[in-house]
Amino acid sequence: MSVCRTAAFAAVFVALGLTLSGARAQSLPAKEGSEVQVFIENDVWARTDRYYTNGLKIGVGVPGNTLTEAFKEPTRWLLDRFNVDRDFQFRPGEEPHFGVFLGQNLYTPKQIATAAAQPLDRPWAAWLYLGVVAQREAGNRLDSAEIDLGMVGPAAAGKLTQTEWHRLIGAPRPLGWDNQIRNEPAFVATYLQKRRYDRGDSALLPPNVEIIPHGGLSMGTVMTLARAGGIIRLGRNMTGFGPDTIEPGGSMLQNTRRAGAGASEKREQLEWYAYVGVDHRMVARNLFLDGAFFRGGPSVERRTHVYDVSRGISVRYQWARLSLTRVRRSEEFFTSPGGGGRQNFDSINIGFEF
């Protein structure tokens, strides 16, 4: 994939954000705490085109009191089921925020210009999905629940997406999509909890520094895993619980904090922070490595323990936010002698928070 594709998507959604902002300025209906979020992940700046090669996630978030019960119930049920701290109670005013989004992920082996099957390398795969997410904030705690439903295989349009963009930008044509994981419906349900600690919680922390640990579970035909990790961030006027990503549980509702702050509390116009983080996953299933759930097909021997090391920056001015993250991912599967399974990729989040 290419910088051209990233720039094109960014331009479209910057224009969308400006349109929405203008609508609010003209006093059209807009609920406090609404948002538009766009995530683009690509390995182009790492000068590779392999493995997890591209991801896109686009969605909107709104306060819970704007939606019907039928829409809210699945993710709210997940929030309640995973609230293992039974002594912890959310107050009635702490209504979850909800979002809906569309996403697509693409995965390829190292050699994309080879038409023959490559059984010792990562399978070709695409994942196209719709998702709903709920987030509930109380004090220094954020609970997130996400449900994704979609298709894996040719129906996910991975071949079309990568082939057409490579044709437009003059990049090598990907030739191996006929070997991809075959069509089947797929789903995953995810719960993630974050906690936020600053100098008010511990005198050992310097001013303007926060530690945000997290832990969670994903279960489904797409992925089944347990995860734990956290970030350390340094900045000014920091809100929320740090950056999100495309992965399930990176739930994209940065504006949830307004539910806890109250509509009368104004944010500072400028917010910024830099951060470093780590996320460790113990993986029981990964469809993009283990192959189709309901029938056979291409697969590779998966590693159980996988970790990401990340670093980045986030800047918000008034209603617009930009977050940039570089992720270094450990080897996800066993390769032939010579390795090559490690990967670097970048995650871009463009957000418009009203």
- Which amino acid would we find at residue 98? F
Q: What is the pLDDT of residue 72?
A: 65
Cα distance between residue 313 and residue 60, in whole Å: 22
Instruction: Give percent of the chain with pLDDT exceeding 70.
Output: 77
Contact assessment for residue 354 and residue 23, using Cβ atoms and an 8 Å cutoff: no
Tell me the CATH number at 67: 2.40.128.140
Residue 94 pLDDT level (bands cut at 50, 70, 90): low
Residue 19 confidence (pLDDT) above 80: no
Residue 108 confidence (pLDDT) above 90: yes
Q: What is the pLDDT of residue 171?
A: 79
Residue 175 confidence (pLDDT) above 90: yes
Phi, psi of 24 (to 5 degrees): -65, -40
Q: What is the pLDDT of residue 77?
A: 72
Residue 55 confidence (pLDDT) above 50: yes
Among the residue ranges 1-5, 86-90, 103-107, 134-138, the one predicted with the least confidence is 1-5
- pLDDT tens-digit map of 188-222: 999 999 999 998 888 888 999 999 999 999 999 99
Cα distance between residue 97 and residue 129, in whole Å: 20
Domain count, the chain: 1
338-to-80, 111, 254, 288, 335 alpha-carbon distances in Å: 46, 14, 41, 22, 8
Residue 247 confidence (pLDDT) above 50: yes
DSSP 82-145: T---TT----TT-PPEEEEEEEEEEEE-S-TT--S--TTSPPPEEEEEEEEEEEEEETTEEEEE
Contact assessment for residue 133 and residue 98, using Cβ atoms and an 8 Å cutoff: yes
User: 266 in helix, strand or coil?
Assistant: coil
CA atoms within 13 A on the CB side of 85: 8
**Higher per-residue confidence, 267 vs 240:** 240
Out of 50-59, 85-94, 308-317, the most confident range is 308-317
**Higher per-residue confidence, 300 vs 90:** 300
Among the residue ranges 31-35, 130-134, 222-226, the one predicted with the least confidence is 31-35
Residue 88 confidence (pLDDT) above 60: no
Residue 182 confidence (pLDDT) above 80: yes
Size (the chain), residues: 354
Domain span at residue 326? 3-353
Q: Average pLDDT in the 324-332 region?
A: 94
User: 50 in helix, strand or coil?
Assistant: coil
Q: What is the pLDDT of residue 279?
A: 96
Among the residue ranges 253-257, 313-317, 326-330, the one predicted with the least confidence is 253-257
Phi, psi of 149 (to 5 degrees): -130, 135
